[in-house]
Amino acid sequence: MLLASRGLAVAFPDAFPVSPGHCLVIPRRHEPDYFKLSREEQEEVWEIVWELRELLEAEHGTTSFNVGINAGEAAGQIVPHAHVHVIPRYPGDDPDPRGGIRWVLPETARYWESPPPAS
């Protein structure tokens, strides 16, 4: 089911959602590396991200999101097609959501508990 469509990009629900409403935005052109997309493709991807935010706010009643890209194997990219995750977040879906995407590397996620680096 397409949630949004433009000439160079589309959006649809994630097949393995981490929260209700989790969506993917992908370029129509097959390209594994997000950073090899044209400026126009990237612009349309982000225009759809904006549209999805509005749609998900209306349909799911949330105003909090994680938005992210796994670009490359070391970053956790499994699907070899560039894509952006739009993940709605809800009060109470995690007992302590602080740090957000920093949890991709759990040992450094709780930066607020460490003293700031020396200047």
Query: Residues 35-46: pLDDT tens digits?
Result: 999 999 999 999
Write out the residue range of the structural domain in which residue 91 sits.
4-113
Tell me the per-residue pLDDT of 37-83, one tens digit each, with 9 for 90 and over. Answer: 999 999 999 999 999 999 999 999 999 999 999 999 999 999 999 99
| Domain count within the chain | 1
Residue 119 in domain: no
Is 83 part of the annotated catalytic residue set? yes
pLDDT digit string (tens) for 21-36? 999 999 999 999 999 9
Question: Could you say which of 22, 60, 83, 85 is catalytic?
Answer: 83
Using an 8 Å Cβ cutoff, are 93 and 64 in contact? no
Question: Residue 96: which CATH number?
Answer: 3.30.428.10
Q: Is the whole-model pTM more than 0.85? A: yes
Give the rounded distance of the alpha carbon of 39 from its chain centre. 18
- Average pLDDT of the chain to the nearest whole number: 93
